[in-house]
Every structure is written in C-alpha cells, then in structure tokens.
Amino acid sequence: MAEQCNIEHKPIRLFIVDVDGTLVTPEKELTPRAIKAVDELYDAGIKFTITSGRPPRGMKMLIDKLKITAPISSFNGGVFVNPDLSVIEAQTVPEPAVKRTIELIQACGLDPWVYQGQEWYIHDPNAPHVSREQWTVKFPPTVVDKFPEPLDQVFKVTGVSDDYDRVAECSKHIQDELGDQVTAARSQPYYVDVTSPHANKRHVSEKLSKMLNIPFAEIATIGDQPSDLLMFECAGLKIAMGNGADSVKQAADFVTTSNKEEGFANAVEGCLLPSVGKKAA
C-alpha cells in the first residue's frame, strides 16, 4: 500500500508528469504498475500527460502505452503536440543564440547535440550517453562534422558530460550570458538543455492549464530534477521523486519513493487517487 501524503489540497484534475527519472525506471522502462496507475487516474476522472526534454518522436511509445489523449510537451515546453505528434505550438532557439550556445558548450568541455527539425545531430557517435539516448528515444542521431547551416528551426541544444560539476557550471554560464535569449536547465545531471526563453516547465504548466481550462490549484506535478522546479510554481500539488535533487525535494509538498521503487505509482496511489476519494485497486 502506498504511503498517504496527508496533505490538504483541492481535488486534482490534471497530473503533469516528468518522464526520465520520474515516470520510467533507470532502465527507461514503464512498469506494469505505472501503466495500471495511469489507467486508475483515467477511471477517477483525472487527466494525465507527460513533459520531457525528449523530442516528440522520443515519447511516442509512452503516448501509445499510456493511451494519452491530452496535449504532450516535448523539449521542456519547446514543442506541444497532440498524441498523433501533430504540432500545436513550437518555440525555436534564435540562430545567434544557437551558435553561441554551441561555442560555450564546447568551451566548457561538453559534447554538443543539436535538435533541428526532426533530426538529432551529433559529432561523435561514441561520446558519452549517445547510445543510451538512442535506445531511449528509439531513433538514431545523424553524425556530422559540422552542424548544418543555417541553424534555424533548432528546438534544443544539449551539452553532455559525465562531469556533473562541469555541466552545472556550463548551465550557469549559458544562462548568465544568454538569459534573455534562452532557457538553460539540467534535465539530468549529465545534460544541460538549452531551449527557447519561452520553453521551460513553468510554461508547460501555464499552457496546459489554459488549453484544458484547469486552474493551477487543481494541477499536480511530479519530477526529479532542477528543471522541474519551474513546473512546481504553477501547481496545487508538488511531488518530488525519492531519487530527485535536494532542491526539488525541498520545494515539494510530498516526496515519494525513487523510480527504482515505483515512486510514480506510489504517488498516484498515495496522493492523487485519495484527492478524489478513490482507492487504488
């Protein structure tokens, strides 16, 4: 039985869920219990959707397995799509900011990735996390010596390294220099994701609230990384994963178990279903 969160809040009508580190296991898989928890949300009349730094194509398998009907947010709010991946809204990074971001990522010693149109461009197929990312999003990168010009229609630039301190420093450098032109946030300890200044998870909560006509007080959110903190700002119920960053746990109303221990399903059973007077089956 999931631990009850014992927090007074309005009945929840929408659950916005981060993907990596939250909804899926460390192996990037959906558990049968997570799928069952989403079915129980639907039965209770609670809408469900996902938000991620992944490209839309990288979430298709989740959309299908979870029978999502609400709009989905990819690239941390840079692109909103329908379940069939047709685009509702798209925010690109200005070309000068793309070029400067790549320069700063390389100056920090990180490996740059560029998501442009439907493509994912990289320089080195053997660089850290490339093979894991390909397995996660279910499509391969395009390997190039030089990123294609013009650098327009870029939804995200990612800097990657297993030196977490360096990633954090690079994120700060980018935000300090280009703060009015981009949003720089760490969606994983080894990534810094750089998107449009209007593409962040606060925008995700705001946009979904308007599209679905659901007030903030009736929205619940769950996440694990600092990029999820902005999403918390527009939520009546904020849930952190047990594997989450300390800053996320401190900002949350409730901390569930880790994504190794069915943290998502436990949050549904302990916080979401009780809010509408339902018990998990």
114 and 53 housed in the same domain: no
Give pLDDT, residue 91. Answer: 94
Residue 171 is part of which domain span? 95-195
Digit-coded pLDDT (tens) for 237-273: 999 999 999 999 999 999 999 999 999 999 999 999 9
Q: What is the CATH number of the domain that holds 41?
A: 3.40.50.1000
172 and 233 housed in the same domain: no
pLDDT band at 67 (very low <50, low <70, confident <90, very high): very high
172 and 102 housed in the same domain: yes
pLDDT band at 47 (very low <50, low <70, confident <90, very high): very high
| Residue 44 in this model has a pLDDT that exceeds 80 | yes
- Whether 221 is in a domain gets the answer yes
Residues 6+ apart with CB under 8 A from 8: none
Cα–Cα distance for residue pair 106/110, rounded to 1 Å: 5
% of the chain residues with pLDDT over 70: 95
- Whether 237 is in a domain gets the answer yes
- Across residues 48-71, what is the average pLDDT? 96
Cα–Cα distance for residue pair 185/167, rounded to 1 Å: 10
Number of domains the chain contains = 2
Q: What is the CATH number of the domain that holds 124?
A: 3.30.1240.10
Write down which residue in 195, 230, 253 finishes a domain.
Answer: 195
Going from the C-alpha of 130 to that of each of 101, 110, 197, the distances in angstroms are 19, 13, 26
- Whether 3 is in a domain gets the answer no
Q: Are 231 and 223 in contact (CB under 8 A)?
A: yes
pLDDT band at 4 (very low <50, low <70, confident <90, very high): low
- Whether 241 is in a domain gets the answer yes
183 and 204 housed in the same domain: no
pLDDT band at 1 (very low <50, low <70, confident <90, very high): very low
Query: Structure tokens of 24?
Result: 């899926």
Digit-coded pLDDT (tens) for 142-183: 999 999 999 999 999 999 999 999 999 999 999 999 989 999
Choose the weakest-confidence range: 5-14, 59-68, 129-138: 5-14
Write down which residue in 135, 167, 195 finishes a domain.
Answer: 195
pLDDT band at 274 (very low <50, low <70, confident <90, very high): confident
- Whether 1 is in a domain gets the answer no
Q: Are 256 and 241 in contact (CB under 8 A)?
A: yes
| Residue 235 in this model has a pLDDT that exceeds 90 | yes
Write down which residue in 195, 215, 240 finishes a domain.
Answer: 195
